[in-house]
Amino acid sequence: MMKKTNLNCGENNTEKNNQTSSVKTPEVQALYRIAQLVGSAAELEVTLSEILKILHDTLFMERASIVLLDEAGENLTIKACYGLTNEERKRGVYNLDEGVIGKVYSSKSPFVVPDIKSEPLFLNRTQARSISKGNIAFIGVPILLRNKPVGVFTVDRLFASEVSYTEDVHFITVVSTLIAQFIELNKVIKQKEDVWLEENRNLRAQLDKRYSRHNIIGQSKVMREVFQLIDRVAPSTATALLLGESGTGKELVAQAIHHSGPRIKAPFIQLNCAAVPETLIESELLGHEKGAFTGATFMKKGRFELANGGTLFLDEIGELPLNLQAKLLRVLQEKNFERLGGTETISVDVRIIAATNINLEEAVAQGLFRADLYYRLNVLPILLPPLRDRVEDIPLLLDFFLRESNERNGKIMQFSRDAVEFLKGYIWPGNVREMQNLVERMVIITDHEICRVSDLPSVMIAEPERPAIQELPHPVNISIKEDSPETPVNSKSSLKDREKEIVEAAMQRNGWVQARAARELGITQRQIGYKIKKYGIIMPEHICIKND
């Protein structure tokens, strides 16, 4: 019985010891939590502030600061603190040999001030401690990296008065060692980031040589002029107006202006004015309050509010109804508005980039667009050239779209040399968008690796004014630009006549359904309706239109 009792007692004692060892003191808990912050060392000031918060939560620390050497190496400034206001923190700037902070830094040794009232070296620079109220103990320890001081860690006394200052100094020194490791790790991360940024810059420079520095493909003279305009316009906050035919890349230019300017970190919000029903455009632009109209079951912020501080890109601005043009003008001039159904005035700081493929001057003359809004938008106009005016860019664009489409569809298709030459002479009424759609179509439907002229859509190769092109036996890798004469176009056929033929042919192929023909040409339904009316295209009487 005795042995059994002793055995049980031994087990109980072991269990108690295990329980005791599993209980962490507040100091150990604090160090454990601080060590877990290693993953956040990239944000040094945030990490340092979190360290001080942990000390407050676990040891009830009332006041502390981490003072580091500034980048110039001339002063010591507070980089993180607890228990200090912003004003008190700003006052915490010290010379390298000034006061208690300077003494700890220069001597690389801890310094204990049992009572700040009786210590002449204590400057109370932050004015955070009331010298007239009781005894306040202050402790400072150096933050050392490879035995070189980089800062000072200061706290008001942590432990009770019956505990010697030695315990405070030992614990704070351990914490300062961890702080030094975080500082070292942050330096390594920044060095790596600098290397990555340099590699990124080099890579972008290599891509720029082939394409452009604005993620827009093009090496032609007219595109280089566009890039120069982007560089001049981007730093400004003035409204930019992008002009040009449909499919010329106005959205890409708008993004380039935003990302090349000072608002790069702010939102880039866009709205296609032609794609939103007229009854909803005002809500999309300005937002609405809950209950503003039937179906408004919640408050919704508009595009202006979402773009606050950044850029709002208004595509197809020429399609904006007249009644909304007046409201848009008011927002542009006054920089404030009210949501639909609301009374609160909302102020915004938004840069406007607008785009249109219609002639706004003609629209103003016809009373379809407000003159005052036109002049307000037309501050920094940029005219984007159609694809037929930048023939030398066509091989680059074909190559780019072909690579993307091949990868997306698991193909290895190429264009033959004669196909590339043919496409260089094509008029491209839908511009770059039409080319992208063509490449995707040919990659999908071509059942062999080489796409020749005969494989292209019949509407492209049936042009009466185009001279016959002889098939060449070998394919060409269009990633390599080849100098070749541009295919001539019959001067008897004017551009307007050709556009009319293309629109009419698209309508015939699509059963005279405007939506389908517009999709094929890469333009909006409103645009094709405008062209049908403009050129007086009449549908045959025997055609029966089905809803698309």
Half-sphere exposure of 349 (CA within 13 A, CB side): 5
CATH number of 221-385: 3.20.10.10, 3.50.50.60, 1.10.1060.10, 3.40.50.300?
3.40.50.300
Query: Is the CATH number of domain 25-187 3.30.450.40?
Result: yes
Q: Of the segments 95-109, 131-145, 146-160, 490-504, which one has the largest average pLDDT value?
A: 95-109
Write the burial class of residue 507 (CB in 10 Å: 0-12 exposed, 13-18 middle, 19+ buried): buried
* Residue 428 binned pLDDT confidence (cut-offs 50, 70, 90): very high
Among 402, 387, 392, 395, smallest CA distance to 450 is for 402
Polymer length in residues for the chain:
548
Q: Can you give the pLDDT at residue 18?
A: 47
Contacts 24+ apart (CB under 8 A), 47-50: 47/182, 47/186, 48/79, 48/80, 48/179, 48/182, 49/80, 49/81, 49/82
Q: Can you give the pLDDT at residue 391?
A: 92
Q: Can you give the pLDDT at residue 209?
A: 54
The model's pLDDT over 437-455, given as tens digits with 9 standing for 90+, comes to 999 999 999 988 999 998 9
The answer to whether the beta carbons of residues 270 and 243 sit under 8 Å apart is no
Higher pLDDT, 27 or 382: 382
- Is a pLDDT exceeding 70 seen at residue 470? no
- Is a pLDDT exceeding 50 seen at residue 502? yes
Q: Which amino acid is residue 378, in one-letter code?
A: N
Q: Can you give the pLDDT at residue 296?
A: 81
Higher pLDDT, 480 or 135: 135
Higher pLDDT, 233 or 292: 233
- For residues 229 and 77, give the distance between their C-alpha atoms in angstroms, rounded to a whole number: 43
* Residue 158 binned pLDDT confidence (cut-offs 50, 70, 90): low
Q: Can you give the pLDDT at residue 543?
A: 53
Higher pLDDT, 331 or 2: 331
- Is a pLDDT exceeding 50 seen at residue 15? no
Q: Can you give the pLDDT at residue 136?
A: 77
- Is a pLDDT exceeding 80 seen at residue 351? yes
* Residue 40 binned pLDDT confidence (cut-offs 50, 70, 90): confident
- For residues 411 and 443, give the distance between their C-alpha atoms in angstroms, rounded to a whole number: 7
- Is a pLDDT exceeding 50 seen at residue 289? yes
Q: Can you give the pLDDT at residue 338?
A: 92
- For residues 116 and 333, give the distance between their C-alpha atoms in angstroms, rounded to a whole number: 59
Print burial letters for 265-285: b (CB count within 10 Å at least 16), e (below 16): ebebbbbbbbebeeeebbbbb
Q: Which of 19-33, 140-154, 302-316, 405-419 has the lowest mean pLDDT?
A: 19-33
Among 420, 433, 505, 424, smallest CA distance to 462 is for 505
* Residue 222 binned pLDDT confidence (cut-offs 50, 70, 90): very high
The model's pLDDT over 67-99, given as tens digits with 9 standing for 90+, comes to 999 888 889 999 999 888 888 888 889 989 888
Q: Can you give the pLDDT at residue 187?
A: 87
* Residue 152 binned pLDDT confidence (cut-offs 50, 70, 90): very high
Among 186, 159, 187, 185, smallest CA distance to 172 is for 159
Q: Can you give the pLDDT at residue 534?
A: 81
Show me where the domains of the chain are located.
Answer: 25-187, 221-385, 398-491, 494-548
Residues 372-383: what's their mean pLDDT? 94
The model's pLDDT over 515-531, given as tens digits with 9 standing for 90+, comes to 788 878 878 777 788 78
* Residue 17 binned pLDDT confidence (cut-offs 50, 70, 90): very low
Q: DSSP characters for 360-429?
A: HHHHHHTTSS-HHHHHHHTTEEEEPPPGGG-GGGHHHHHHHHHHHHHHHHT---EEBHHHHHHHHHS--T
Which CATH number describes the domain made up of 494-548? Answer: 1.10.10.60
- Is a pLDDT exceeding 80 seen at residue 167? yes
Q: Can you give the pLDDT at residue 439?
A: 96
What is the architecture of the domain spanning 398-491?
Answer: Orthogonal Bundle (1.10)
Q: Can you give the pLDDT at residue 8?
A: 42
Q: Can you give the pLDDT at residue 200?
A: 65
- Is a pLDDT exceeding 50 seen at residue 546? no
| Proportion of the chain above pLDDT 90, given as a percent | 42
